[in-house]
Amino acid sequence: MTLKLGRHEFADDATLMMAIVNRTPDSFYDQGATWTEGKAFERVAQVVAQGAEIVDIGGIKAAPGAEVDVEEEKGRIVELVARVREAFPGLVISVDTWRAAVGEAVCRAGADVLNDAWGGADPELVDVAASYDAAIICTHTGGVTPRTRPHRIEYDDVVAAAIADTVAYAERAVAAGVDPRSAVIDPAHDFGKNTFHSLELTRRLGEMVDTGWPVLVSLSNKDFVGETLDLPVGERLLGTLAATAVCAMAGARIYRVHEVVETRQVVDMAWTIAGRRPPARAIRGLQ
Amino acid sequence: MPGVLALLPEYAGLVDPVAELRAACLAALAWLGDGVVVVADAQGARVAVALLAATGHFGAIAPEGQPADASYLVVANGSARRSEKAPGHLDERAFEFDQAVGTALRAPDPAALARVDASLGEELLAGHVAGLHALGELLTSEHHTVSVDYDDDPFGVQYWVMRWTCES
């Protein structure tokens, strides 16, 4: 199915890099490196130059931490969204928020996608997406409260749970008026999951792809990579890229990433191995 | 024309590494009349059929009993050992071999084409030397017009795209 992300449409076989842009002082990977609006805008320009089709702007770190209320969240990101919209009309702007009030403000400022990392915690977010013809990312968290860590969560079948919840969320979004081409599902590695859950979701990602909804994966430098390889943040790129290759073979369409260039190469390579993309230029043995 | 597998649609990449050669082949093939008789080995025939189809030719490949006014497409090429990066690495003999074949094609010199050394051609990874011999047998009239669409060795492999008209 054609993917429609707000103002932008993409063909069935397109893979997309969604670059993370944190307008936060405390996110786990960059520790506030792009906290000021100027630095965040520079990061946008950098990832656009690197070929990212999407930026995912967030104003609250996912992990527990200082309370950020609606007004503070809007204050961090709305103006940035407007500035990016004006500077990069061809860029897909996604905003990482679970709050409908924030979603409304950023859509008015030019956002194309609402990335609800917390699995529908605010039921009115879908109505905002529908009102502004925005796309919505429907994640699976196992029903946890936003900004909490998983604790002793277990599933009979984590993949079945992820499929059931994300597909139900996507169908709810469409029922609310979201364009069926604009609902994306995301198993949400690490969210409401231990490392074994995230590994199983990676291994069985094809089952999510088989639902027919476009699949987003957010793997970048996460704890399941770190625990698998016993490596701290900052040393997880290779593990991230290995997981990325597995997800690309399975058919994931959107990759939420810190490292755009490296991920693009891995996805193109895996996508080509899978027979969904031709080589760039092939002459070896064919002269 | 050469039997370059990169010309086949199943080996297409995002960028065409043989765009110039392809254009020359398509132009020459479009110029051929109906009922093209293809002189090629199995791989060369695949390339010929694909490109003929791309130019709207769907004529029979008829090695026997062809009409006197048929068009012929000979699929062959020179050595694939013309540089260190070539498929067969460098063999200095490739240059003299290809020089002789190229001269015979341009003249044209049917007798010289018929004498192309098949065993040396095999060592030099030349494409379908038997096709060059067959071409020599086809160019039997007293007068010919010759045009060269392509003459280069972009990957250390010598390619020619040429057209001959026999005048009776």
Average pLDDT, chain B: 92
* CA angle at A250 for the pair A248 and A251, rounded to the nearest 5°: 65
| A275 has a chain B CB within 8 A of its CB | no
* CA angle at A142 for the pair A185 and A160, rounded to the nearest 5°: 60
Tell me: the pLDDT tens digits for A198-222?
999 999 999 999 999 999 999 999 9
Residue A39 has pLDDT above 60, yes or no: yes
C-alpha torsion angle, residues A160, A165, A168, A172 (rounded to 10): -170
Q: What is the ipTM of this complex?
A: 0.85
What confidence score (pLDDT) does residue B34 get? 80
Residue B9 confidence class, pLDDT cut points 50, 70, 90: very high
Tell me: the pLDDT tens digits for B12-33?
999 999 999 999 999 999 999 8
What confidence score (pLDDT) does residue A117 get? 87
Tell me: the pLDDT tens digits for A146-168?
888 888 899 999 999 999 999 99
Tell me: the pLDDT tens digits for A100-130?
999 999 999 999 999 998 888 899 999 999 9
Q: Is A3-273 in CATH node 3.20.20.20? A: yes
A256 annotated active-site: yes
Tell me which chain B residues have a C-beta less than 8 angstroms from the C-beta of A279.
13-14
When mean pLDDT is compared across A19-33, B20-34, B47-61, the lowest value belongs to B47-61
Residue of A nearest to B156 (CA): A287
Distance CA A137, CA A114 (A): 6
What confidence score (pLDDT) does residue B59 get? 58
Tell me which chain A residues have a C-beta less than 8 angstroms from the C-beta of B77.
none
Tell me which chain A residues have a C-beta less than 8 angstroms from the C-beta of B19.
none
Q: Count CB-CB contacts under 10 A for residue B53.
A: 12
What confidence score (pLDDT) does residue A168 get? 97
| A285 has a chain B CB within 8 A of its CB | yes
Residue B60 has pLDDT above 70, yes or no: no
Residue of A nearest to B7 (CA): A286
Contact A197, A244 (CB under 8 A): no
Q: Quick one: CA dihedral B99, B102, B107, B110, positive or negative?
A: positive
> What does the domain layout of chain A look like in residue ranges?
3-273
Contact A215, A139 (CB under 8 A): no
Residue of B nearest to A280 (CA): B14
Tell me which chain A residues have a C-beta less than 8 angstroms from the C-beta of B12.
278
Distance CA A25, CA B159 (A): 62
Mean pLDDT of B148-156: 97
Closest CA of chain A from B147, distance in Å: 23
Mean pLDDT of A256-272: 98
Nearest to A283 among B14, B17, B80 (CB): B17
Residue B168 has pLDDT above 70, yes or no: no
What confidence score (pLDDT) does residue B63 get? 54
A222 annotated active-site: yes
